[in-house]
Every structure is written in C-alpha cells, then in structure tokens.
Amino acid sequence: MALSIGIIGLPNVGKSTLFNAFTKAQNAESANYPFCTIEPNKAIVPLPDDRLEKLATLVNPKNIIHSTIDFVDIAGLVKGASKGEGLGNQFLENIRQTKAILHVVRCFENDDIAHVETNIDPIRDIEIVETELILADMQMLERKIDRLSRHVKGDKSVAPLLEECRKVYAHLEQGKFALTYSSTNDGLKKQAFSDPGLVSAKKVIYCANVDEAGIEGTNPYIEQLVDYSKKKNVEYVVVSAQVEQDVIDFDDEEKAEFLESYGITESGIEKVVHSCFRLLGLASFFTYNAKEARAWTIQKGWKAPKAASVIHEDFERGFIRAEVISFEDFISHDGEAGCRDAGVLRTEGKEYQVADGDVIYFLFNV
C-alpha cells in the first residue's frame, strides 16, 4: 500500500528543494532500498521508521526493507492553472494520482529569491492555489453535469447522480473544498467525486517553508499560517527546505547534532510522514525471517486477513490465523523466543484488528 504525497505550491516557494532534500537524504541513509526516480519529478523513497531498525538488531536479517513513499514534485502552479495556464493541466492530473497533498508555503523573506506575487503573504498564496483547485473541479463537474443532463432524458435512473453533482458544484461555488462536502448518500457522493476525480477532495498538509531563523523560533508568516491552519482544521508542519538540503551528506550522528543545534527533534521528512499517517489513518506492521525484516503500511482498523493481503493476495484468501507480538513486547523480551516464554505471543483470528507496530507471522493455506 504505497503512500503517495504530491508536493504543490506557487513557483519559488521551495518545493523542489524540499523534494530533493527528502529523496536524496533517504537514498543516502537507506542502502537496502534503491532510490528510484520514475520521472524527473517523481521518486520512491523508504519510509523512515526507527522501530524496524531496532527489530532488525534482534533478528539479524540479511536485508531490511522499509515501506515506501512516492514523492511527486508537481509543477509550480500559477493563476489560471485551472484553465491550462502554465503547466496547469499536468499539475492537476499529477495531483489526482496522489493520496495526500503537501502544500508548501513560503514563510521567509529573501531578496535573492523572487516571489511570483512580489511579496510574502502565506494566506494569499494558499488561497491562490486552493482557488485553482476548486475552479478545476467546478469545470470538471460542469462537463459531468452536462453529460448527465443529456443522458437523463432517456434514462431517469441517473437523476439522483445528476442532483448529487449539482449539490457538490454548489458547495464548490462557495469556495469550499470537495473534502468538506457531506452527503446523505455515500454511494452517490463517491460517483460524483469520481471520473476523473476531484482534486479538492484530497487531504492537505500545509508546510511552512522557513529559513534558519524561522526554525529557531517563529515569525509573523509562520504565525499567520498556524492560525489559518487551526481555523480550517488542517494539519501543518514547519520545515526548512534549505536546512534539510544542507544535511543531505551528513552521517546519522552529524545530522542529529546539526538538527539538535536548531532545536529540531525530528527531520522534515519524519514530520511529513507522521502528519500523513495521522491524516490518512495509516499504520505499520512488521514481518521478519532470516532473509529480511520488513515494514508494511495499512489502513488503521484493517482486520488480519486484509492486512495480510498487502504481502500477497494468497495470504488473505487462505488466511488461517496470525501469531502476533506487539513491538514493545518484542523489544523488551529480546525477540520471539523471549515473548513465547513470557506468554505475550498471541494467536489471533480473522476478526483481529491489526495494531500499529504489531510483529506478525501469518499462517495460510491455498
């Protein structure tokens, strides 16, 4: 289950610097997973999780395989992107392929880096981007409503979907994201949102891109973004793309010391990943054998057979039971043998909801 994050924002706000810092840093730190650039603006990188490293020290596998994140550095948006201005069409199509949006907003001043709107104003910048997303969705729905209006003349069964599309359109007209639209019929809502998909239905994290001074404390731009995020109930993170890039070639100890000097307890990519996991309701579980220790990403609430399907569909189809140890127990009892002796290894059936950090061995038969 890949986690795909689209990095968006106006031109010259730090998107590409952040993208390069995240992807190169992870490539440098994780020799067990090959950095993969699919296109010039897309990369697959390992998802940071210290728990997997700790588990591996106990089981000593040949390889450690992290879950992965797809990062997509989406072309800088400009006013009129919804009408195809700049790289608008490509921008919007790339967003549709992601699970979440990291909206990078410039929150620092630098006379050497021109701002497309001439001055720094994070709220204005956010509203420019979000307006284009909403306008793009309205155009898509206009075409869909037009098709359904013609179709309904010969097939009355599409009338409920047509009415739902009109309600979504009216919601967008108020300047609201499709994400905030509520319906009494989830099935109709899903149909209205699909084909090709509403970009404003994506969940968003605001990323305040700051300079070194902004990391140490705050500034008026960060305060504006934080207040705006809280009012809209949107996740936010504060990251310095430049600082992240500066530590790319550092080893783990040097990087930790450098970040600590700025009072940073976790890297930018860790902040983003943790926010995405909260936002999307994701969790990780672990498996291991002599060949590899591996992390897998699932939705919270998935039952054991469904979770097993991310390994292979046969695991779900032929599921018998799962042997489960919590990560904390696995570490505190020095591995599986100690957990068996302590009686903390559990046998779970088809109704078990996998918890974040579970170490699992699936038994199946097909």
Please, what are the domains in the chain? 3-48+56-119+201-280 (3.40.50.300), 130-200 (1.10.150.300), 301-364 (3.10.20.30)
Residue spans of the chain under pLDDT 50: 26-35, 37, 85-88
Q: Which residues pair with 337 in a beta bridge?
A: none
pLDDT of residue 79: 63
Angle value at C-alpha 43, between 37 and 46, nearest 5 degrees: 115
Nearest 5°: the CA angle 333, 287, 364 is: 115
Nearest to 167 by CA among 154, 156, 180, 153: 180
CA distance 359 to 285: 6
Instruction: Return the closest-CA partner of residue 295 out of 46, 43, 45, 36.
Output: 46
- State the pLDDT at residue 334: 96
Contacts of 129 (CB under 8 A, 6+ apart): 8, 9, 10, 77, 103
| Integer-rounded Cα radius of gyration of the chain | 23
pTM over 0.75: yes
DSSP reduced 3-state for 245: helix
| Whole-number pLDDT of residue 37 | 46
Using the 8-state DSSP alphabet, how is residue 65 labeled? E
Residue 36: what are its φ and ψ, rounded to 5°?
Answer: -135, 115
CA distances from 127 to 29, 84, 137, 227, 302 (A): 36, 18, 15, 14, 36
**CB neighbour list of residue 227: distance below 8 Å, 6 or more residues apart:** none
Report the C-alpha gap between 202 and 180 in whole angstroms.
Answer: 10
Q: Which residues contact 115 (CB under 8 A, 6 or more apart)?
A: 10, 12, 106
CA nearest to 226, candidates 134, 279, 217, 114: 217
Amino acid at residue number 112: D
pLDDT at 33: 39
| Residue 1 confidence (pLDDT) | 65
